[in-house]
Amino acid sequence: MAFRGASFLLFINWLCIVIWLTTSFESTDASILVLDTNDTYIDRTAAFGPRIPDEGLVLSLIAVETLDENEDTTACKPVTGVPDDVLWVALIERGGHCSFVDKVRNMQASGAKAVIVGDNQKNSLLTMYAQEDTSDVLIPSVFITQNHYRELRYFGMELGKGFLVKLLPDEIDCICGLVPVLHLEDAPTPATTCRSGTT
């Protein structure tokens, strides 16, 4: 009986490690909350760069074309015009002659704390990947559907730098904290790495 109990705990801890590895290296759905209206938009976290912290990120949403002299939406080059004391997330569009990771790099160089990429082709979510080394990407990025991009872009254009959104992390329920943790050599402890959803 004791052996069966130990086997069950071993299985649960193994399952938690699998969940942690999956959520660490694969993109999952998160959300964007508009603070003024309480509207929520589903997004998908990029496979590169850091994840959104558990407490979320409250930032001013700025449509990048308001900062570009040619009103370009694709962020294929860095932009200027945002004061250093403004914490902001860049709203940009898929397309142009640059990759997803280059867009994020350009916005990082421009001072953005995060990036929201909107689809320009169809109304579905996709995962943003990069084949090269992305260890230099230090800000999180997410992908949203075309309809949601257009709605957020409208708000961003109308309200300017005072338009606040909160980027929320992936909501993953995990039971790892309910069982004893097996400490594996050179492996993270599931009880401290499994993420629960925030409200």
Domain ranges of the chain: 1-26+174-199, 29-169
One-letter amino acid of 97: H
Cα distances (Å, whole numbers) of residue 164 to 32, 154, 187? 10, 13, 38
Domain 29-169 has CATH 3.40.50.10860: no
Is the CB of residue 72 less than 8 Å from the CB of residue 65? yes
The DSSP symbol for 162 reads G
Q: Which helix (H) or strand (E) holds 107?
A: helix 100-109
Write down the pTM of the prediction: 0.72
Integer Cα distance of 66 and 77 in angstroms: 14
| The predicted structure's pLDDT at residue 111 | 96
One-letter amino acid of 149: Y
β-sheet bridge partners, residue 29 = 44
The DSSP symbol for 189 reads -
| Parts of the chain with a pLDDT under 50 | 2-3, 18, 20-27, 173-199
| The predicted structure's pLDDT at residue 99 | 96
| The predicted structure's pLDDT at residue 7 | 67
| The predicted structure's pLDDT at residue 13 | 59
Q: Is the dihedral of CA 23, 106, 37, 120 positive or negative?
A: negative
CB atoms within 10 A of CB 149: 24
For residue 9, give every residue at least 6 positions away whose Cβ sits within 8 Å of its Cβ, in sequence order, or none: 179, 180, 182
